[in-house]
Amino acid sequence: MTSAASTGRGSRRIAFLGTGLMGAPMARRLLKAGLTVTVWNRDLSKAETLSADGATVSPTAADAVRGADIVFTMLSDGKAVTDVLFDQGVADALKPGAIVVDTSSIAPPIAREHSETLAKRQVHHIDAPVSGGVVGAEAGTLAIMAGGDAAIVDSLADVFAALGRVTHVGPSGAGQICKLANQQIVAITIGAVAEAMILVEAGGASREKFRDAIRGGFAESRILDLHGGRMVSRSFAPGGPSRLQLKDLDAVAAMADLFSLELPLTAKVRDEFREFVADGGGEKDHSGLLLHLEKINHRQREENQ
């Protein structure tokens, strides 16, 4: 395989596939760093908005990656990534020595399968899911969990620097398992903050003042800061849609079965997200789990009257 490190860093061409809620600000960060970026999205209008930032817009995913040294994917799930890479001709259009950086959140076995298949075509693959949401993508402060060849990850240091902080966490698939663990913590903590909000209000305290009071204590977290704030303001426009949170929790459950693990807290919050999504909350931010828990408690109070 051609060495990625041998490619001139300043002249490397990037293709970014998937410019939705997360992908668009990530691509914009790369453009602001002075990198040459071609973009594609299934809904082309979402890619075209990046032309004002200097991106070249491609009509197809395969066209976008021709001649690219680095290809980022930020797509909804493993099925979408497989479709774009192998059914829409991307893998066939990639040049030997190119690097695919999949920042989507997908199941670890699918990431490993993609890596093995691309290796046969002399293409490198890094699974590099991110955490930090839209706010982190816009600010360039994402936490990036990279699985794959450490030397390839190191060769992308300047590119990753435009997006946030990268950590090589292990071999192929390791990035995705770490992202799933991250999503466990996010989901459980959202549930904990939501339940606390319900408790303090039932006891006569202000949710807003409660959140202010515990800031800086042992309960401080990014979730309390951002998602707790959304719960107080009741602003649930999606940064992270609940349907995607459920998708990640389903993947955690599959991995728990594979490893014969009992994860009771994760299982319970997964049930709550499943009910919330089934009740129409799929496109609301995952902090909107508060609405589901409020509904449960309202029903409980009515039954006890």
Whether residue 179 lies in the annotated active site:
yes
Query: Which candidate in 46, 79, 120, 179 is catalytic?
Result: 179
Please write down the HEC assignment for all residues of the chain.
CCCHHHCCHHHCEEEEECCCCCHHHHHHHHHHCCCEEEEECCCHHHHHHHHHHCCEECCCHHHHHCCCCEEEECCCCHHHHHHHHHHCCHHHHCCCCCEEEECCCCCHHHHHHHHHHHHCCCCEEEECCEECHHHHHHHCCEEEEEECCHHHHHHCHHHHHCCEEEEEEECCCHHHHHHHHHHHHHHHHHHHHHHHHHHHHHCCCCHHHHHHHHCCCCCCCHHHHHHHHHHHHCCCCCCCEHHHHHHHHHHHHHHHHHCCCCCHHHHHHHHHHHHHHHHHHCCCEHHHHHHHHHHHHHHHHHHHC
Q: How many CB atoms lie within 10 A of CB 197?
A: 21
d(CA 274, CA 221): 24
Contacts of 101 (CB under 8 A, 6+ apart): 70, 71, 72, 73, 126, 128, 156
Half-sphere exposure for 72 (CA within 13 Å, toward CB): 34
What is the set of active-site residues?
Answer: 179
